[in-house]
Amino acid sequence: MAVQDVMTTDGKRSMFSIAALRESHRVGDRTRIAALVIALLVIGSVFSLLFSVTTGASDASMFDVLANLGGQADALTTRDRIIIFDIRMPRAILGFLVGGSLAVSGAVMQGLFRNPLADPGLVGVSSGAGFGAVIMIVLGGSIAMPVFNLLGIYALPLAAFGGGLVTTLLLYRVATSNGQTSIGTMLLAGIALGALTGALTGLLTYMANDQQLRDLTFWGMGSLAGATWMKIAAAAPIILASYIVLPFMARGLNAITLGEAAAFHMGVPVQRLKNIAIVTVAAATGASVAVSGGIGFVGIVVPHVLRMVIGPDHRYLLPASALLGGSLLIFADVLARTIVAPAELPIGIITAAVGGPFFLWILLRQRSRLAL
């Protein structure tokens, strides 16, 4: 096995093997498993969408919906078409986009920080994005009116993107020293940033009027109840744009598992990769929070489960995370709106009930590596 002796950025010599990464891919290669899993997830995603739009008070079945989409107009009654295409379908599509973006954001952050505990919700990125959205809700009719008028339907997701971006940059700045990112510092800094943005959000909530308070209630625990085609039009371009850059980050995230110095000498532009990853996470998380509120733990559960099945190769992990995250959030939303029907649970309660114990399990597995 070829070993290269190279000079690191701080002037010290470091021994590492470029062949080690290739060797690690050959030993326990899960390419076929990953391809099979992704194919199954594609099928599962279609099923989850159909299951969501046909679950509830309407009597329409999956076959009726498919027949209507295939051009058979009389397959659905007028009432069923309104329920499915104006209420349930926007909700299902928005849930798929939000779940996929949160899962992908978690996978990117875990790859960048090289730790399965990284997650936009846990380290304060989601709370920063929520703060940006709350600024636009409370101040959009006064101080921020020119911005709101200029950006239109994109004002809310772009404000959330800005809040998430600033929080992510601060987090990375605080947690990184001499080219090394401290996971303990990252988690503690995330708690501090989450508390700060929470306090500022509380201040704006105190200033809000009755109408704004009703809108802000939406952010408390997350929900897809307000899903509309207009919200999809506002969030989908930002989320889909973040997906476009994923294939270009996969190789760099794979290389960075060997360390930043090793990745640099393998030809990976490490600093540019960090910048792209930070902007991607902020964009995806910000747009998601803007239309769904705070939904936690999707970004930590989904990538970790997939790593146990298909391995850590980000070429497969990132698209698989998008598919599984979207499907899981759709099923969580169906459970949230049917478990106490005709009332509805906030979807954040469902994801927290599942993600909380899962996070504790990961923490127990990783405690020997965490020097907290």
pLDDT digit string, tens, across residues 169-194:
888 788 777 766 666 787 788 888 88
CB of 107 closer than 8 Å to CB of 322: no
Interval 230-257: pLDDT, tens: 889 888 998 999 999 988 899 999 998 8
- In the chain, the domains with their CATH numbers are 45-366 (1.10.3470.10)
* Contacts of 370 by beta carbon, 8 Å cutoff, 6+ apart: 117, 183, 184, 363
* H-run or E-run covering 177: strand 176-177
Position 14 pLDDT exceeds 50:
no
* Torsion angle defined by CA atoms of residues 136, 141, 144 and 148, in that order, rounded to the nearest 10 degrees: 70
DSSP H or E segment with residue 6: strand 4-7
pLDDT above 60: residue 37: yes
Task: Please enumerate in sequence order all residues whose Cβ is within 8 A of that of 190, keeping only pairs 6 or more positions apart, or say none.
Answer: 122, 123, 124, 125, 171
Q: Which residue has the tokens 């307000």?
A: 226
Q: How does residue 310 score in pLDDT terms, banded at 50, 70 and 90?
A: very high
- pLDDT at 111 > cutoff 70: yes
Contact 227, 94 (CB under 8 A): yes
Which of 36-50, 94-108, 126-140 shows the lowest mean pLDDT across its residues? 126-140
- How many Å apart are CA 327 and CA 308, to the nearest integer? 18
Instruction: Check the CA dihedral 218-130-159-314 and report its sign.
Output: negative
Tokens 């709370």 identify what position?
A: 127
Question: Is 50 a residue whose pLDDT tops 70?
Answer: yes
Average pLDDT score, the chain: 81
- The pTM of this model reads 0.81
What pLDDT sits at residue 144?
A: 63
* Position with higher pLDDT, 293 vs 369: 293
Range from 71-75, 81-85, 302-306, 345-349 that averages highest in pLDDT:
302-306
The answer to whether 246 touches 319, Cβ cutoff 8 Å, is yes
Partnered with residue 180 across adjacent β-strands are 177
Q: How far is CA 69 from CA 63, 74, 88, 95, 204, in A?
A: 10, 11, 15, 20, 45
Residue from 200, 188, 213 nearest 132 by CA: 200
Amino acid at 80: D
